[in-house]
Amino acid sequence: MIEGATWRRWVFYNIPLILFVFVLLFPFYWMIITTFRPDGELYKPWNSVNYMPFWTNNPTFEHILYLFEETSFARWMFNTMFIALVSTLISLFCGVLAGYALARLNFPYAGGLGTAIFITYLVPQTLLFIPLAEIIRNFQLGDTPWALILTYPTFLIPFCTWLMMGYFKAIPKELEECARIDGASRWKAMVYIIIPVAVPGILSSGIIAFTLSWNEFIYALVFLSSPDQKTVPVGVTSELIRGDVFFWGPLMAGALLGSIPVAIVYSFFVEHYVSGLTGSVKG
Amino acid sequence: MAVTAVSGVGARPVPRLRRLEDERWLAMALLLPTAVLLGLFIAYPFFEGVLLSLKSTRVGQPGEFIGLKNFEKIWNDSIFRTTVWNTFWYTGVTTVFKLALGLWLAILLNRHFRGKALIRAFILLPFIIPTVLSTFAWKWMFDPTFSVINWTLFQLGIITQRINWLGDPDLAMTSIIIINIWRGVPFFAITLLAGLQTISPELHEAAAIDGARPWQRFWHVTWPLLMPVTLVVVLFSVIQTFADFQLVYVMTGGGPANATHLFATYAYQLGIGTGLLSEGAAISLAMFPFLFIIVVVQLLYIRRVETR
């Protein structure tokens, strides 16, 4: 792009970009500042004098301590982590195998099955949660982590499969044929030759699947009931609001701490995340 | 080698591993786990959901077959009509803004400058942080008494009275729309940026040499080439937004006075909140024809654009 004078660059590029970044990140700043602000400062009316909303001189850990002492927050973190990890592993296992079959094997109805996977990719969780709740109850899975571990793959597998198909299609056929000529079985060629080449794709799908299951809400809200079984988003919603009273300090502390695992995983694998995201919209 | 599996048929039973040499058997084995999970937790619940919507089941009452009465009932329900209107309004407005702002942000990022990787990593945060958690931050920012937004507007001299963001039906809907746009823009920006990067700069240079103004270059070069990616991004976003639940559940719970319900929140309120399982299932399923039409129209359009 042909760059103009400095002032034009500021007006047309830098200032809009700074505004975008500010608006996109401000709620997180607000989360952090609320977490460390004492209650006395939090509940000051918005038009009172000497109100200093963007900073605090009396940082406190009382809200974080409240979370760990008065609620089962640590337990929710563990539940969410466990459910997200196991459902991600299940979905990766299924998605890699199915993606390989759909992208690299010739068999009847391959095209139809590919379309079916794409359609399930587009089924939102909110379409099926009521009948699914009944089914979970009939299977005696209600209020256990397995209710979520087994249902999260329904939206993760189609996604992983779709993404892996893209990666598998990009690997040249010759690679597999060489191995087959050297005497490897189809199974061995897949496990030892093709899947190792597709590791970046597996990482991408895994990270996105992990963030998606950490984000899931409606199934966790409907399928779990006892406080000790809940995930972070549901626990924060149901245990830190009593009637009309919002415990804003602990709420924001919970939101902040609950976001940290996802943020850490994301920060280590930004490039994989982005390539997965952009790969997922390639038709 | 692949022949052995075929010629073995009839002579003697084929060993299991040998059978995997046949592409059809291998494909079937590889697809089995996926088929079982999706069958059990998507196809079966869908079937059950249709049955449930035709009965009069409540919590603790199996109910009986009543045909289309539930659908008749929701059709005449004024809250349901508001819900349908809300869902379309919410989806339409947010999609237009997410596309426009996302494209703008993508164009801003499609240059070389210092700290680009860092900025790109940071702007995706609204999209990766769990929606419920970031929505709580917004709810706190929109709090009627302690709103930081009101404080800022007051300090700037724009308002003298507080704005009750979530207490007024129209303002509540606007607040929800703002948050959805905030969460969706990064997704649009990053995916459209990837699309922009596949467009060769030479095309722009050629157009510039032919005398095209920047706006003309965008409209006649960038936009048509970006179309296939844009359509898929819009498809995903429209479906997610149409079926949204978390944001409205946290911000308003469908209130004030049932004015901000979407399909999913109203289905939740009736099905889980009040225990009218069949009516809830009917409302959820009422989404299906709309989603189906959206998907079919978009897929046809994508195919037309791609084969052009």
CATH number at residue B222: 1.10.3720.10
B136 and B232 share a domain? yes
Find the CATH number of the domain harbouring A218: 1.10.3720.10
Look at residue B160 and tell me whether its pLDDT is greater than 60: yes
Q: What is the pLDDT of residues A63-99, one digit of tens each?
A: 999 999 988 999 999 999 999 999 999 999 999 999 9
B243 and B107 share a domain? yes
Half-sphere exposure of B209 (CA within 13 A, CB side): 6
A129 and A262 share a domain? yes
Look at residue A199 and tell me whether its pLDDT is greater than 90: yes
Q: What is the pLDDT of residues A103-159, one digit of tens each?
A: 988 888 888 888 888 888 888 889 999 999 999 999 999 899 999 999 999 999 999
Range with the lowest mean pLDDT among A56-60, A125-129, A210-214? A56-60
| A130, A131, A137, A139: CA torsion to nearest 10 | -150
Report the pLDDT value the prediction gives residue A139, as an integer from 0 to 100. Answer: 92
Asked if B191 and A278 come within 8 Å (Cβ–Cβ), the reply is: yes
| A114 within 8 A of A165, measured Cβ to Cβ | yes
Among A94, A130, A277, beta carbon nearest to B37: A94
A118 and A34 share a domain? no
B102 and B7 share a domain? no
Buried residues in A95-113 as b, exposed as e (16+ CB within 10 A):
bbbbbbbbbbbebeebeeb
A34 and A135 share a domain? no
Regarding predicted confidence, which is higher, B94 or B5? B94
The reply to whether B158 touches chain A by the CB within 8 Å rule is no
Give me the number of domains chain A comprises: 2
Asked if A128 and B284 come within 8 Å (Cβ–Cβ), the reply is: yes
B14 and B136 share a domain? no
Report the pLDDT value the prediction gives residue B6, as an integer from 0 to 100. Answer: 43
Given A60, A84, A103, the domain boundary residue is: A60
Interface test with A, best of B1, B19, B91, B132 (most A CBs within 10 A): B132
Distance from CA of A157 to the nearest CA of B (A): 7
- Is A276 strand, coil or helix? helix
B82 and B124 share a domain? yes
Distance CA A82, CA A102 (A): 30
The answer to whether residue B186 sits within a structural domain is: yes
Look at residue B10 and tell me whether its pLDDT is greater than 50: no
Given A19, A39, A60, the domain boundary residue is: A60
Of A35, A95, A87, A23, nearest in space to A61 by CA: A35
The answer to whether residue A1 sits within a structural domain is: no
Tell me what percent of the residues of chain B surpass a pLDDT of 70. 93
Look at residue B4 and tell me whether its pLDDT is greater than 70: no
B44 and B94 share a domain? no
Q: Which uninterrupted H or E stretch holds A282?
A: none
A50 and A147 share a domain? no
- What pTM value is reported for the model? 0.91
**Residue A5, exposed/middle/buried by CB under 10 A (0-12, 13-18, 19+)?**
exposed
pLDDT band at A56 (very low <50, low <70, confident <90, very high): confident
**Residue B32, exposed/middle/buried by CB under 10 A (0-12, 13-18, 19+)?**
middle
Chain pair A-B, CB pairs under 8 angstroms: 282
pLDDT band at A46 (very low <50, low <70, confident <90, very high): low
The reply to whether B118 touches chain A by the CB within 8 Å rule is no
The answer to whether residue A102 sits within a structural domain is: yes
Give me the number of domains chain B comprises: 2
A206 and A110 share a domain? yes
The answer to whether residue B63 sits within a structural domain is: no
Q: What is the pLDDT of residues B120-133, one digit of tens each?
A: 999 999 999 999 99
The answer to whether residue B58 sits within a structural domain is: no
Look at residue B2 and tell me whether its pLDDT is greater than 80: no
Report the pLDDT value the prediction gives residue B17, as an integer from 0 to 100. Answer: 63
Full residue range of the structural domain in which residue B233 is found: 69-307
Report the pLDDT value the prediction gives residue A48, as an integer from 0 to 100. Answer: 67
Chain A residues in contact with B52 (beta carbon < 8 A): 130-131, 134
Half-sphere exposure of B203 (CA within 13 A, CB side): 15
B48 and B77 share a domain? no
The answer to whether residue B59 sits within a structural domain is: no
Chain B residues in contact with A17 (beta carbon < 8 A): 105, 108-109, 119
The answer to whether residue A156 sits within a structural domain is: yes
What mean pLDDT value characterizes chain A? 89
A44 and A160 share a domain? no
Regarding predicted confidence, which is higher, B12 or A266? A266
Look at residue B5 and tell me whether its pLDDT is greater than 50: no
Q: Which residues contact B265 (CB under 8 A, 6 or more apart)?
A: B245, B248, B249, B253, B254
| B126 within 8 A of A255, measured Cβ to Cβ | no
* ipTM given for this complex: 0.91
DSSP B158: S
A88 and A124 share a domain? yes
Q: Give A152-214 as a DSSP string.
A: THHHHHHHHHHHHHHHHHHS-HHHHHHHHHTT--HHHIIIIIIHHHTHHHHHHHHHHHHHHHH
Range with the lowest mean pLDDT among A142-151, B229-238, B295-304? B295-304
Mean pLDDT value across residues A255-270: 93
Full residue range of the structural domain in which residue A34 is found: 6-60
B19 and B81 share a domain? no
B24 and B144 share a domain? no
Nearest CA in chain A to B124: A24
Start-to-end Cα distance in chain A: 28
The answer to whether residue B62 sits within a structural domain is: no
| B287 within 8 A of A127, measured Cβ to Cβ | yes
A182 and A252 share a domain? yes
Distance CA A179, CA A172 (A): 12
B49 and B115 share a domain? no
The answer to whether residue A114 sits within a structural domain is: yes
Report the pLDDT value the prediction gives residue A279, as an integer from 0 to 100. Answer: 81
Interface of B with A in 96-115 (CB under 8 A): 101, 104-105, 108-109, 111
B239 and B90 share a domain? yes
The answer to whether residue A146 sits within a structural domain is: yes
A184: left (phi over 0), alpha (psi -120 to 50) or beta: beta
Residue B63 has which token pair?
């109910």
Report the pLDDT value the prediction gives residue A49, as an integer from 0 to 100. Answer: 62
Chain A residues in contact with B40 (beta carbon < 8 A): 150
Q: In 10 A of CB B293, how many CB atoms?
A: 10
Distance CA A145, CA A189 (A): 36
Chain A residues in contact with B124 (beta carbon < 8 A): 266, 270, 273-274
A28 and A143 share a domain? no
Among A53, A123, A133, beta carbon nearest to B148: A53
The answer to whether residue A202 sits within a structural domain is: yes
A23 and A116 share a domain? no
Report the pLDDT value the prediction gives residue B308, as an integer from 0 to 100. Answer: 62
B181 and B258 share a domain? yes
Q: What values do phi and psi take at B181, rounded to 5?
A: -65, -45
